[in-house]
Amino acid sequence: MRRREFLSVLAGAAVWPVTAPAQNVETVRRLGFLGAATSSVGRPWLSALVRRLGELGWVEGRNIQIDVRWAEGRNDRAAEIAAEFARADLDLIVTWATGPALTAKRATSTIPIVFALATDPVGSGLVASLARPAGNATGLSAFNLDLVGKRVEFLREIVPDLRRLAVLGNVGVANTGFELREVAKVAETLGLDTTSVEIKLSADIVPALDAVKTQPQALFVVGDPLTFTNRVQINSWALKQRLPTMYAIREFVAAGGLMSYGTNFPSLFRRAAEFSDKILRGTSPADIPVEQPTKFDLVINLRTAQALSVAVPDKLLALADEVIE
């Protein structure tokens, strides 16, 4: 029997009896949610998506059926889920991260796809252009060169004498190479030495970090489903090495990282619900321009700063959108 995971926020939704007269039964649309990470980390974002869908009139058990699957940061599992969704001939697939979005696009050229976030949708081949996606996918882009530079700058505020930076990234996904190169470019302009720590599997993380021969003064982590799923492990290693960490996603910091600067994920998923609503009501994804986020959050974990004996400058705290104490 196929397993389906239903959100608690939908527990009270009415289920229409199959014997109801045809004129009283709404057409039920089928949405597949390909969760790139695990349920424990992705559920709040899924909840944001489902709540917004509900506000737009899409209610589980009445006019929409949501099939939720979790890839747990594994490319092979994402491919299995995408293939299942393609065979099921769904009305829509929603996912996030460049890798899973590309996997879904490879699995089907006909089912519309909404990605809540993709690093470089044009460069990766997800869409033809931001203004006119042209294919069966659309969503939100995080392609912003300035963000990488800002993250490095914020790290230098915490570590004023920063000279050596380790950069951890999953080279098994499309966007990591771009960000690794951009970090190296920014670091060179600032006179910093960078060491790329390349991984592809969860089992690679600690051995790859332990193998770094230089003595880095901070750790920059490229966000993707694999590093996200293993954020506690990464943070534990960094704390033992007494290394300040920089991320793109708040949840890394909530799990013990020092600092993040990037888009607000719940807001992205609410917007993805609005894209989904348009498609479910008949608009082609090819005609929905890809959007870029306009708000970016700086999050700082003071508990981690204290554990590292790191002083966070007052001006940085004043800039923070959230301080975890």
Q: Which residue has the tokens 């300035």?
A: 146
Interatomic CA distance for residues 293 and 271, integer angstroms:
10
pLDDT at 145: 65
Quote the distance between the C-alpha of residue 189 and its chain's center: 28
Interatomic CA distance for residues 163 and 229, integer angstroms:
29
pLDDT at 176: 83
Residues 170, 257, single domain; the answer is yes
- CATH (domain of 86): 3.40.50.2300
Residues 95, 190, single domain; the answer is no
* Residue 197: Cβ-neighbour burial (10 angstroms; 0-12, 13-18, 19+): buried
Residues 279, 317, single domain; the answer is no
Residues 90, 190, single domain; the answer is no
pLDDT at 25: 56
Residue 34 maps to a domain: yes
pLDDT at 12: 37
Domain residues for the domain of 96 are 8-143+265-294
What proportions of the chain, in percent to the nearest 5, are helix, strand and coil? 40, 20, 35
Residues 137, 149, single domain; the answer is no
Question: HSE on the CB side for 290, CA within 13 Å?
Answer: 29
Q: In the chain, how many domains are there?
A: 2
pLDDT at 8: 40
**Would you write out the chain's pLDDT as a tens digit for each of its 325 residues?**
343 444 443 433 333 333 334 444 579 999 999 999 889 888 999 999 999 999 999 999 899 999 999 999 898 999 999 999 999 989 999 999 888 999 999 999 999 999 999 888 998 899 999 999 999 999 999 766 678 999 999 999 999 999 999 999 999 876 788 888 899 999 999 999 999 999 999 999 999 999 998 899 999 999 888 998 899 999 999 999 999 999 999 999 999 999 999 988 899 999 999 999 999 999 999 999 999 988 899 999 999 999 999 999 999 999 999 999 9
Residues 98, 246, single domain; the answer is no
Interatomic CA distance for residues 239 and 49, integer angstroms:
33
pLDDT at 146: 73
pLDDT at 21: 40
pLDDT at 4: 44
Residues 65, 188, single domain; the answer is no
Torsion of CA 232, 235, 241, 247, to 10 degrees: 160
Residue 2 maps to a domain: no
CA angle at residue 96 from 90 to 100, to 5 degrees? 75
